[in-house]
Amino acid sequence: MPREDRRISNIKQDSINEINYYPSRQSVSEGDIIISHPKGKPLRLYKKLNGILWWSDFTRDGKQYFDNDLIYKGYLKNSNYPAFKAYVSTSADDQAIADQTRVRINFDAESYDVGGNYDTSNYKFTAPIAGVYHFDAKLLWDTNYTLDTGDWEAEERHDIYLIKNDGNANPASGNIEVAKLDLVSGAITDNFVMSSVSSDLKLNAGDYIEVAVWQNSGVTQHTYSNNEHEWSAWTGHLITAI
């Protein structure tokens, strides 16, 4: 018999046990190899090595199963996907928006911030990983801060923007990623005016987004928010990592 054939013939193979339940680490001896197939569950291969129970599911179509901690009552669960909701608190209310001046909005409080990627001091969300993100922002303008503020004439504008990688109180036009321009259709006196914008953005890790507005009513306007979630807020979340 050739030498290589004799070597292969003399190799001692660990025995493989078959069971119909998923074992615990304590129930498997060091070095054991187990194939397990509980009724209605995936076929699974186990091996205990260095005190650790290793396992992998078999598959018939090349698709792998999710670990149980990613599924909750049939729904996909991932606590690592960033998501936030920020709003204008009472302390930041009545922020001045000068005529024909682009101004970053001070969303200074959070309803939630999964992953801790929103900064309430600098009013920005920073992407922790490269991906496609979705953002929704809305701002309610004050209806009667002073005699003239809150009044609008026909064809005056109130614009809202998503700004990338700027960091200034008065962001530059070159850093606008998304713009939503609204024209007042008719004269408004002491009534509600709201700006809103919604968009998907492709961001690299470390890119950050802020919200800014602009108006040309001829007077300084102000923000209005006296209720969390209700009037002036913005949200964002990761759609998919890339």
Q: Model confidence over 75-104: pLDDT tens digits?
A: 777 777 899 999 988 776 788 999 999 999
In the structure encoding, which two tokens stand for residue 46, read together? 């186990």
Give the three-state DSSP class for 11: coil
* Token pair of 190 as six digits: 């002491």
Is the distance from CB of 211 to CB of 88 less than 8 angstroms? Answer: no
Token pair 């990338």 is found at 164
Interacting residues of 123 by C-beta distance below 8 A, sequence separation 6+:
86, 104, 105, 106, 107, 108, 210, 211
Say how far apart CA 8 and CA 84 lie, in whole Å.
59
Cα separation, 123 vs 233, whole angstroms: 11
pLDDT digits (tens, 9 = 90+) for 107-150: 999 999 999 999 999 999 999 999 999 999 999 988 665 555 67
Q: Alpha carbon of 55 to those of 39, 49, 68, 73, 148: distances in Å?
A: 18, 11, 13, 23, 70
For 117-157, the DSSP string reads: -EETTTTEEE-SSSEEEEEEEEEEEPS-SSSSTT-B-TT-E
Domains of the chain: 3-65 (no CATH), 83-241 (2.60.120.40)
pTM reported for the whole predicted model: 0.71
What are the start-end ranges of the H helices in the chain? 3-10
Please give the DSSP secondary-structure letter assigned to residue 91.
G
Query: What digits encode the pLDDT tens for the residues 154-163?
Result: 999 999 999 9
Strand partners, 179: 161
Q: What is the pLDDT of residue 98?
A: 95
Mean pLDDT (the chain, rounded): 86
